[in-house]
Amino acid sequence: MSTTITATNFTFPGQKSVYHGKVREVYTLKNDVLVMIATDRLSAFDVVMPKGIPYKGQILNQIATKMMRDTQDIVPNWLHATPDPNVAIGEACEPFKVEMVIRGYLSGHAAREYKAGKRMLCGVAMPEGMIENDKFPQPIITPATKAEAGDHDEDISREDILKRGIVSEVDYLQLEDYTRKLFQRGTEIAAKRNLILVDTKYEFGKTKDGKIVLIDEIHTPDSSRYFYAEGYSERQARGEAQKQLSKEFVRQWLIQNGFQGLEGQQVPFMSDAYIETVSERYIELYENITGETFVKADVSNILERIEQNVLNYLSA
């Protein structure tokens, strides 16, 4: 019997629809109740890997839950309960069609654009004379459009968002304000763990009564990039790569094995031993980000456990 969740096919009371994302399964029930199940699927380069990673879903769900609770004084969120280690239940809402990406450092996509000679990203100027992983004078917001299934998200400026009517000006200014406040809180939480929150993305939705709420995951290693604070300045001064706390290690392994999600490329074989090392790294991520010891949930019959816990919650 599998000890990982790679697919679900539940039918919950009052179920109206189900959406199978890259790593999450989202069940919409009547009365605007949303049941989000974090699977153990691993996605890289917009491709889902063939094997699940033990405890990955539990790790991401529990980090996101903790971070939602640690920021709910700043912005209301969709979350009502987590009746199972892999499950979050909350309020269904209409997602905004933009992801609010905020960057404190010249890393990842921003660094690649900078190396290509660009000094504007999403309509925001980047200073001259920076090197990869330098800190920006102030965090910059570089939104991305929410891609349709199978497509890549695309950079977009605040001006284009408003011009195209993707988000109203009043709502967009609120999203920017929430994004900056959340990033500041995330930075403070990370600093207590001797980490640097480098960049992250936030997603927001609007409830039926018109309230803007934070949705999806927040400050997880799948949605955020962290550096180890210790030795950061020394590594920058020597021009060395920074020690990262994210799923970048998986991307690098795939690149070394000839895969970047390009047409015609095959996902390299992942042995059980390698899968185990990925699981161990995710546990390490959890413990570093939260400062808590990870407690493995019972996975002897994982799907039955999830179904029973959700049904118990819904009937309470």
| Window from 45-54, 144-153, 185-194, 248-257 with minimum mean pLDDT | 144-153
Whether the per-residue pLDDT at 83 is higher than 90: the answer is: yes
Domain CATH code at residue 23: 3.30.200.20
Whether the per-residue pLDDT at 151 is higher than 70: the answer is: no
pLDDT at 131: 96
Whether the per-residue pLDDT at 148 is higher than 80: the answer is: no
pLDDT at 152: 59
β-bridge partners, 15: 29
> 213 lies in a domain?
no
- As a whole number of angstroms, the distance between CA 131 and CA 226 comes to 17
pTM for this predicted structure: 0.90
Same domain assignment for residues 105 and 185: yes
pLDDT at 291: 93
Percent of the chain with pLDDT over 70: 97
pLDDT at 260: 87
Give the pLDDT confidence of 104-124 residue by residue, as tens digits: 999 988 999 999 999 999 999
Domain CATH code at residue 176: 3.30.470.20
pLDDT at 147: 60
Q: Where are the alpha helices (DSSP H) in the chain?
A: 56-71, 108-115, 158-163, 169-192, 232-238, 248-256, 272-290, 302-315
Higher pLDDT, 270 or 153: 270
> 171 lies in a domain?
yes
Same domain assignment for residues 84 and 150: no
Whether the per-residue pLDDT at 201 is higher than 70: the answer is: yes
Same domain assignment for residues 78 and 177: no
Same domain assignment for residues 233 and 280: no
Same domain assignment for residues 43 and 115: no
Same domain assignment for residues 29 and 45: yes
Mean pLDDT of 50-66: 95
> 269 lies in a domain?
yes
Same domain assignment for residues 276 and 293: yes
> 9 lies in a domain?
no
> 86 lies in a domain?
yes
Q: Average model confidence (pLDDT) for the chain? A: 93
Same domain assignment for residues 199 and 103: yes
Q: What is the number of residues in the chain?
A: 316
**Tokens for 6?**
């790679």
Tokens 């031993």 -> residue: 273
Q: What is the CB neighbour count within 10 angstroms for residue 240? A: 11
Same domain assignment for residues 39 and 65: yes
pLDDT at 272: 92
Same domain assignment for residues 60 and 27: yes
> 4 lies in a domain?
no
Whether the per-residue pLDDT at 305 is higher than 60: the answer is: yes
The amino acid at residue 143 is: P
> 182 lies in a domain?
yes
Same domain assignment for residues 128 and 237: yes
Please give the tally of structural domains in the chain.
2
Same domain assignment for residues 89 and 113: no
Percent of the chain with pLDDT over 90: 82
Give the pLDDT confidence of 244-277 residue by residue, as tens digits: 887 878 888 998 999 988 889 999 999 999 999 9
> 215 lies in a domain?
no
Q: With cut-offs at 50, 70 and 90, classify the pLDDT of residue 97.
A: very high
Mean pLDDT of 5-9: 93
DSSP class of 206:
E
Of 241, 245, 252, 285, nearest to 133 by C-alpha is: 241
Domain that holds residue 163: 95-206+223-245
Whether the per-residue pLDDT at 24 is higher than 60: the answer is: yes
Whether the per-residue pLDDT at 1 is higher than 50: the answer is: no
